[in-house]
Structure 1
Amino acid sequence: MKLSAEHLEILAVIVEKGGLTEGAEALGKSQPSVSRSMALLEQRVGLPLFEPGRRPLRPTELGLRLARAGAQIRAAGLEAGQIVKRFQRGQAGRLRMGGTPVFMDGVVSAIIADFQSRHSDVQIEQVYGYLDQLALSLRNEALDLAILPMHASQVPKDMHFTPLMGGHNVIVCRAGHPLTRRKGLTMQDIDSFGWIAPPTDSPLYRDLQRAVRSIGREDFHVSFSGGTLASILAVLTGSDALTVLPYSVAFLARRNTPLEILPIRIEHPDRHLGILRLSKARAEARTLTLFSGFVADELHRLQNRIDHELQVRRRG
């Protein structure tokens, strides 16, 4: 026997509230319409749902059990409605993103964790890559967005780039490194130390080359190359080698890694860290918009913290 889910939900509210009038008010319906629904349900089951002549209203054993079933249906309906609302607001769904390894591991991963602590119903799938790979994945709709550093001239015509944080690189060493005890560092001071280089196909590797040239060297000795940010930091803290990192990555890495930023000015990359998307709208645009806004806010806060530190360094 198939019963009306709506009638069972009405029965559940009547039993919960203790009367037809109270149930009707809770449902936003008129008392006569609620009475008609119960009469139809009783006619369908062929048995009474309430004990006759009892005030306040008391359900029969059948009425009580059907009310429990109606409460489950009502709860499921309310939950389904909340799911729809979360999707409509962008607070639930699936987001596929890509990014360059150093920024993804050093900056963006913490932002993702913070975002998901607020919106746990958003599933995020992340891959690594550089501009050409990421742009191809965006066009193939394998990704919804990419977070990477790039110059405005690199933005593909069919895509939109939102710049969020300007390029700013620094030379980094382990805490307690011999160079941290010297003042007025010169090229001769750092000449005897090896360098840790990121993967050769990464923009950061080219940054390292430009940075070394900007302080008077055309060549440099690489003691370790490739690897992830975790391996770069592990080699850095276990040796006297130097490396070049984005200021934002070094700034956040110091929370868990004993490293220091050397007071040597180097050439900064002419690009911004930002969000790359296809220009056309996507199916999950609300989730994408919510996440993109969150990333922008968090990077803005991080930039303010970095700017404050730079001001303190200059005054020092």
Structure 2
Amino acid sequence: MKIDERHLIQLAAVVKTGGVTEGAALLGLSQPAVSRTLSMLEARIGEPLFLKGRRPLQPTPLGRALADHGQTMLSASRKASDVVESFRAGRSGVVRVGGTPFFMDALIAGMIAEFQNLHPDVRIDQTYGYFPDLRAALNADQIDLAICPIDILDEGSGLEFQQILPGRNVVACRVTHPLLLKRRPQPAHLLDFPWVAPPPGSPLLTDLRSMLLSFGATEVKIRYSGGSLMSVVHYMKAADALTIMPHSVVFALRNEKSITALPVPIPHSERALGLLKRSDAPRTPAADHFARHIRTGFDNLKHLIKRHEQSVVWGA
């Protein structure tokens, strides 16, 4: 015998509330409609569902058993509705985000944690990459959002870019570096020390070579390369090596009191850190919600980063 699931749900509502009128109100139905359903259900199974003459209504053992099945369906339906509402509001779902390693480790990882403290039902799947890889991942629908520095998008790229922080590179060193003892360290002084190279593929590697070339260097003394942000930091804490880093990354490490920026003006490219996504990507509420969180986080950080920049006092 096949029983309509909607009939069991209505039975469950009546048993739960103790009355047909109340059960109908719980489901947003009319009292006559629910009464007809119960009559049809009793006729179909050939057994009474409620004890006669009892108020509030009391189910028979069979009525109780069927109502329990209906309650399970009703609860599942409510949970499904909650899932849909939570998804539409961006409070649940999966966000696939890719980004450049140093920015992700120094700045974005903490913001992801803050976001999930507010929205624990949103899962974040993070990957690393630089602009060419991230662009390919976006176009292949492997990620929803990229966080990376770029200079300009090609016309017709099909991508949208929202700037969240102007680009600015600095020369980073340990806080006890000998050059910090000089009153006015000059670019030429930097050539006396070895360097840590940014990861392969990073635009910082191109920036490093251009900077040293502008200082008159004919070769680069690379002593360490290919490390993660934390490995670079730990290496530099024990060495007099220098490296090039985005100022925002040095700012993010300020409380560790291990790495700082040399007050030496250096050339920097016109890149900016921002959020990148496909123009024609289907709307993902959780990804939109996460992007707003990142933008707000950087809006709150901008003045602190600027103040830190001014306190280091390097040239414009």
Same fold (TM over 0.5): yes
Maintained 8 Å contact 1:173/1:242: yes
C-alpha distance in structure 2 between counterparts of 1:202 and 1:146, whole Å: 15
**Corresponding residue for residue 70 of structure 2:** 70
Distance 2:158 2:171 in 1: 36
For residues 105-160 of structure 1, the C-alpha deviation after alignment (integer angstroms, 9 at most, x for no partner) is 22222223333333334333332222222222322333333221111255763322
Percent of aligned pairs with the same amino acid: 39
* 1:301 matched residue in structure 2: 300
Give the whole-Å Cα distance in 2 for the aligned partners of 1:270 and 1:67: 67
Q: 1:299 to 1:215 in 2, by over 3 A?
A: farther
In 2 relative to 1, CA 255–70 (structure 1 residues): closer, same or farther, beyond 3 Å? farther
Deviations 1:18-52 (A, max 9, x none): 22222223223222222222212222222222111
Give the deviation of 1:242 after TM superposition: 1.8
Give the secondary structure class of the aligned counterpart of 1:149: strand
Question: SS at 1:170's partner residue?
Answer: strand
Aligned equivalents of 1:154 and 1:217: distance in 2?
Answer: 33
Residue 114 of structure 2 corresponds to residue 119 of structure 1: no
The 1-side partners of 2:310 and 2:228 are apart by: 31
Tell me the TM-score normalized by structure 2: 0.87
* Offset at residue 167 of structure 1 (A): 0.6
Report the alpha carbon displacement of residue 206 of structure 1 after superposing the two structures with TM. 1.8
RMSD (Å) for aligned C-alpha atoms: 2.6
Q: Letter of the aligned partner of 1:248 in structure 2? A: S
CA pair 247-196 structure 1, distance change in 2 beyond 3 A: same
1:90-111 deviation per Cα after TM superposition (whole angstroms, max 9, x unaligned): 4333333322222222222222
Q: Which residue identity does 1:38 align to in structure 2? A: L
Report which stretch shifted further, 269-278 or 303-312.
Answer: 303-312
Alignment of 1:256-275 (within 5 A): 256=256, 258-275=258-275
SS of the equivalent of 2:277 reads strand
Question: Which residues of structure 1 form unaligned runs of 5+?
Answer: none
Q: Which amino acid aligns with 1:114?
A: E
CA distance in 2, matches of 1:28, 1:201: 60
Equivalence for 2:309 = 310
Distance in 2 (CA, whole Å) between partners of 1:214 and 1:116 is: 44
Tell me how far apart the structure 2 counterparts of residues 7 and 273 of structure 1 sit (CA, whole Å). Answer: 57
CA distance in 2, matches of 1:156, 1:108: 28
CA distance in 1, matches of 2:73, 2:159: 45
Structure 1 counterpart of 2:227? 227
CA distance in 2, matches of 1:25, 1:285: 34
Contact 1:163 1:272 in 2 (8 A): yes
Do the aligned partners of 2:251 and 2:308 also contact (CA within 8 Å) in 1? no
* Matching residue's letter, 1:253: L
Shift of 1:190: 4.3
Give the conservation status (yes or no) of the 8 Å contact 2:12–2:70. yes
Equivalent positions of 1:244-259 (< 5 A) are 244-256=244-256, 258-259=258-259
CA distance 1:115–1:274, shift in 2 (3 Å): same
The answer to whether the 8 Å contact 2:188/2:215 transfers is: no
Amino acid at match of 2:29: K
1:44 is aligned to: 44
Cα deviation 1:67-100 (Å, max 9, x = unaligned): 2222211110011111122233343333333222
- Tell me if structure 2 keeps the 8 A contact 1:200–1:226: yes
Contact 1:155 1:161 in 2 (8 A): no
* 2:193 and 2:241 in contact (8 A); partners too: yes
Change (3 A) 1:70 1:99: same
Contact 1:93 1:123 in 2 (8 A): yes
Q: Which moved more, 1:71-80 or 1:82-91?
A: 82-91
Task: Find the aligned partners of 1:146 and 1:29 in 2 and give their Cα distance.
Answer: 47
**2 CA distance for matches of 1:312 and 1:192?**
26
CA separation in 2, counterparts of 1:94 and 1:137?
16
Return closer, same or farther for 1:235/1:8 CA change in 2, 3 Å cut-off: same
1:182 is displaced (CA, Å) by 4.2
